Copies of this chain bind each other. A is one copy, B any other.
Amino acid sequence: MAGKKQIESAVSAQDPLKQKGLSVTDSRRKILQLFMQQKGALSHGDIEKKAGATFDRVTIYRTLQTFLDKGIIHAIPSANNAILYALCHEQCGPDHHDHQHIHFICSRCKHTFCLDHSVTPDLHLPKGYQAQDIDVLVKGVCKRCNTTSK
């Protein structure tokens, strides 16, 4: 058991799946990869498109749910029907999500980004209200769309 453990830990650094005690399967690896490449948020539909017919629609549902449960990804609120998902950071666990970053939705290219370096507002809630978790959604024009031609 000792030697095996060493190998696992060598791989696990790059593999959130093992860290969270999940079996490493093609679909999970692939979907995870999509998130890492994209460096932005994806909807179920996005994944389906990008993954092509690689695997079943149901598998995507289940995989996303599993990732959510394990704290590998988080859901980003949106006002249109499509729920978006993006990778969590290390400090997130199954129960504890700590996202002090801002979700930025570009109104031009429609991409959603997580901006980590932004500061969270200081809120002035009315008396009696107790904040536990804050999510900031900003709509606007992203860096790329801003610099490329209008």
User: Cβ of B143 and Cβ of A126 under 8 Å apart?
Assistant: yes
Partner of A77, one of B79, B121, B131, B147: B79
Interface string of A95-110 (1 = CB under 8 A from B): 0000000101001000
Contact (A138, B123) CB under 8 Å given A78-B77, A83-B81:
yes
Contact yes or no, A143 B115, CB < 8 A: no
Contact with B along A126-150 (1 / 0, CB 8 A): 1111111111111111111011000
Tallying the copies of this chain within the complex gives 2
User: In the complex, how many angstroms separate the beta carbon of A128 from the nearest chain B beta carbon?
Assistant: 3
- A117 to B123 alpha-carbon distance, docked (Å): 10
A37 at the interface (CB under 8 A from B): no
Q: Are A129 and B143 in contact (CB under 8 A)?
A: yes
Residue A7 CB within 8 A of the other chain: no
CB atoms of B126 and A123 under 8 A apart: no
Cβ contact within 8 Å between B142 and A138: no
